[in-house]
């Protein structure tokens, strides 16, 4: 009896839900149809909203996309950057244009989708991703050079001025410079009986790494893969020719050059000796070995690593630049402004570029965000001493080493393209496996690269 009752109840419930489902479905259809026609009209007047806004006297909005979305508990620097942006927004709250910073997680996807549709975000901090070539080709990005020249911001934008110069145009200004050298653990070096002389050339670097491996206490030379791809960068920078190749687009000539072959093989040989178990496409996977456990001799990472070093190791870990007095500094992407906005919006956007490179903000980027600021007029060492923070002092030391290196070159990823770089890293990582024929793998890489740029 009870069973019957339950089944009747169930049946009623089912019918009810079915009817409800059907009802909502019909309604859904109607809505869908409506929205479709709405879509058509909207598509027809796509450009309209902006014009409308200014006509009705509403405040214009300057949207600024950036990638500092992380919660403060996860990454304090993100909060520091957001504070800097908010301050600018508040300072211009009374103006005719509202400045609206928007934190997004996949900024690069959003930008590339917009560009594919022929538009560009009002302002975007492209970070290390770089401004898409397609956007520049379509004339979607505002040329900042005239503004920089007019306002004498050359020193304030620093390396951006030369690195981002594309046939006399500057499409982006990065407020912080991606500056790279090496970090080494002096305790591990001492135990292995090697000194910082190991950084005089790559041969002695290799010998030092061998001695560290011989310690046999689980210590190893360095974290290879993504990190050691910068060896290629550094070796190429050691010759006049190689430097020129790094600074220009990748051509078949470069791929077949002796300089490139030597650079790749130097790195691959070191990596193979170092072992594939210490090879990763993302430094982050093994970074704790260096920064916390102290079991690694060398870490190929940027100056920002200063803030990641465990307190117990601050005494031991020191920054140094690549053999041959070489450092790597790239403006990368940075803040880019859209072309063809209203005068008021463009003005505020340019004001923002000036603000981000001003000494006041740049100081914060150094002390709070813990990055290498682009502004050349700052005295980093004095600022660090003023802060009294051990990590900031390490950062200052690393930054000044990078900034004062005899040769400063750009990361090849920016001039040659990220697809080229990931192909190089993949080849390098495969070479780390013991017994891999480096020469053969290099020939294959050459073929891959020729095809990629074709």
Partner 1 sequence: MAGLQTNKKKKNKLGMRRTGFIMAFLAPTLLVFCVFYLYPIVTVFATSFCKWDYTNITSPEFFGFGNLWDNYNYIFNKYPFFWEALRNSTTWAILGAVVQIPIATLIALALSRKVKGVKWVRNIYIVPNMISTAAMGIIFLQLYNPSYGIINPVIRLFKKGFSDNILLLHGPAFVAMTCAYIFFTGTTTLMILGNIMAVPEEVREAAMLDGASGLKQDWYIVIPMIKGTLKTVSTLAATSGFLIYNEVYFLTKGAAGTYSISYVIRELAISSPRTQFGRANAVAVIQILAGMVIIVVVNLLYSMNLGKKRIDR
Partner 2 sequence: MNMRKDKPGKGVKNMSAFTRIFTYLCLAWALLVALVPLVWLVISSLKEDPLARPGFQLPESICLDGYISTFKDLHVLRYFGNSLFIAGISVIISVIMISMSAYVVARMEFKGKTLVTMLLYSTMFIPATALTYPVYRLVNSLHLYDTRGALIFVYACSGIAVSFFVIKNYYDNIPRDLEEAARIDGCGYVQTWLKVIFPIARPGIMTAAVLAFLNNWNEYYWASLVMITREKLTVPALLSTFTTAFNTNYNGLFSAMVVIILPPVLLYCFFSKFFIEALSGGAVKG
Residues in contact with partner 2 by the rule CB under 8 A:
14, 18, 21-22, 24-25, 28, 35, 38-39, 42-43, 46, 69-75, 77-78, 102-106, 109-110, 113, 116-117, 128, 284-285, 287-289, 292-293, 304, 308
Site mask for partner 1 (CB under 8 A), range 125-144, x = bound? -----x-xxx--xx------
Nearest CA among 231, 182, 202, 225 for reference residue 411:
231
Residue 381 or 418 with smaller CB distance to partner 1: 418
> What does the alpha-carbon distance between residue 337 and residue 140 come to, in Å, rounded to a whole number?
9
Residues in binding contact with partner 1, number by CB under 8 A: 46
Q: Counting contacts by CB under 8 A, is residue 277 touching partner 1?
A: yes
**Residue 419 near which of partner 2, partner 1, none (CB within 5-8 Å, type-dependent):** partner 1
Residue 36 or 105 with smaller CB distance to partner 1: 36
> What does the alpha-carbon distance between residue 185 and residue 188 come to, in Å, rounded to a whole number?
6
Residues with Cβ within 8 Å of residue 78, at least 6 apart in sequence: 68, 69, 70, 71, 72, 103
Query: Residue written as tokens 């002796």?
Result: 258
Calculate ∠ Cα 419-422-451, nearest 5°: 50
Phi, psi at residue 99, to the nearest 5°? -90, 120
Site for partner 1 in 96-115 (CB under 8 A): 109, 112, 115
Query: Shortest Cβ distance from residue 257 to partner 1 (Å)?
Result: 19
**Residue 311 near which of partner 1, partner 2, none (CB within 5-8 Å, type-dependent):** none
Residues with Cβ within 8 Å of residue 370, at least 6 apart in sequence: 77, 304, 306, 307, 391, 392, 395
**Residue 417 near which of partner 1, partner 2, none (CB within 5-8 Å, type-dependent):** partner 1
Residue 86 or 281 with smaller CB distance to partner 1: 281
**Residue 277 near which of partner 2, partner 1, none (CB within 5-8 Å, type-dependent):** partner 1
- Please state, in angstroms and as integers, the Cα–Cα distance from residue 227 to each residue in 146, 184, 282, 295, following that order: 37, 13, 8, 16
**Residue 253 near which of partner 2, partner 1, none (CB within 5-8 Å, type-dependent):** none
Q: Which helix (H) or strand (E) holds 450?
A: helix 438-453
Give the single-character DSSP code of 132. -
E strands in 189-295: 220-222, 224-225, 279-280
Query: Shortest Cβ distance from residue 87 to partner 1 (Å)?
Result: 33
* Among positions 170, 237, 317, 429, the unique one binding partner 1 when judged by CB under 8 A: 429
- For residues 307 and 365, the answer to whether their CB atoms sit within 8 Å is no
Residue 46 or 258 with smaller CB distance to partner 2: 46
Q: Which residues bind partner 1 (CB under 8 A)?
A: 25, 28-29, 32-33, 36, 109, 112, 115-118, 130, 132-134, 137-138, 275-281, 285-286, 289, 417-419, 422, 425-426, 429-430, 432-434, 444, 447-448, 451-454
């Amino acid at each position: 009896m009870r069973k019957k009752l339950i089944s009747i109840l169930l049946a009623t419930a089912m019918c009810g839900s079915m009817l409800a489902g059907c009802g909502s479905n019909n309604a859904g259809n109607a809505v869908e149809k409506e929205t479709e026609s709405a879509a058509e009209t909207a598509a027809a007047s796509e450009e309209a909203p902006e014009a409308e806004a200014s006509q009705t006297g509403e405040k214009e909005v300057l949207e600024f996309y950036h990638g500092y979305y992380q919660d403060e508990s996860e990454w304090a620097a993100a909060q520091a950057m957001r504070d800097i942006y908010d301050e600018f927004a508040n300072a211009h709250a009374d103006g005719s244009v509202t400045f609206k910073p928007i934190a997004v997680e996949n900024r690069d996807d959003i930008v590339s989708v917009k560009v594919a549709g022929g538009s560009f975000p009002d302002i975007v901090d492209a970070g290390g991703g770089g401004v898409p070539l397609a956007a520049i080709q379509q004339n979607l990005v505002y040329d900042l050079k005239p503004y920089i020249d007019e306002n004498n911001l050359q020193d304030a934008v620093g390396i951006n001025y030369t690195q981002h110069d594309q046939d006399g145009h500057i499409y982006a200004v990065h407020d912080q410079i991606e500056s790279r050298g090496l970090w080494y653990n002096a305790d591990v070096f001492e135990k292995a009986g090697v000194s910082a002389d190991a950084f005089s050339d790559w041969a002695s670097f290799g010998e030092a790494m061998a001695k560290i491996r011989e310690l046999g206490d689980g210590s190893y030379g360095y974290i290879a893969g993504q990190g050691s791809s910068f060896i290629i960068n550094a070796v190429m920078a050691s010759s006049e020719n190689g430097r020129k190749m790094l600074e220009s687009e990748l051509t078949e000539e470069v791929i077949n050059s002796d300089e490139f072959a030597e650079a790749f093989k130097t790195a691959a040989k070191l990596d193979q000796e170092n072992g594939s178990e210490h090879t990763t496409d993302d430094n982050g996977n093994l970074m704790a070995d260096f920064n916390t456990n102290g079991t690694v001799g060398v870490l190929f990472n940027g100056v920002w690593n200063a803030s990641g070093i465990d307190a117990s190791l601050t005494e031991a870990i020191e920054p140094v630049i690549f053999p041959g007095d070489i450092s790597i500094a790239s403006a990368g992407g940075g803040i880019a402004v859209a072309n063809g906005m209203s005068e008021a919006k463009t003005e505020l956007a340019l004001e923002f570029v000036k603000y981000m490179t001003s000494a006041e903000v740049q100081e914060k980027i150094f002390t709070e965000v813990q990055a290498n600021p682009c502004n050349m007029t700052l005295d980093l060492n004095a600022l660090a001493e003023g802060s009294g923070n051990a990590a900031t002092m390490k950062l200052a030391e690393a930054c000044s080493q990078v900034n004062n290196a005899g040769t400063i070159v750009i990361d090849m990823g920016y001039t040659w393209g990220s697809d080229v770089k990931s192909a190089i890293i993949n080849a390098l990582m495969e070479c780390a496996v013991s017994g891999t024929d480096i020469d053969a793998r290099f020939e294959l890489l050459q073929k891959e690269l020729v095809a990629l740029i074709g």
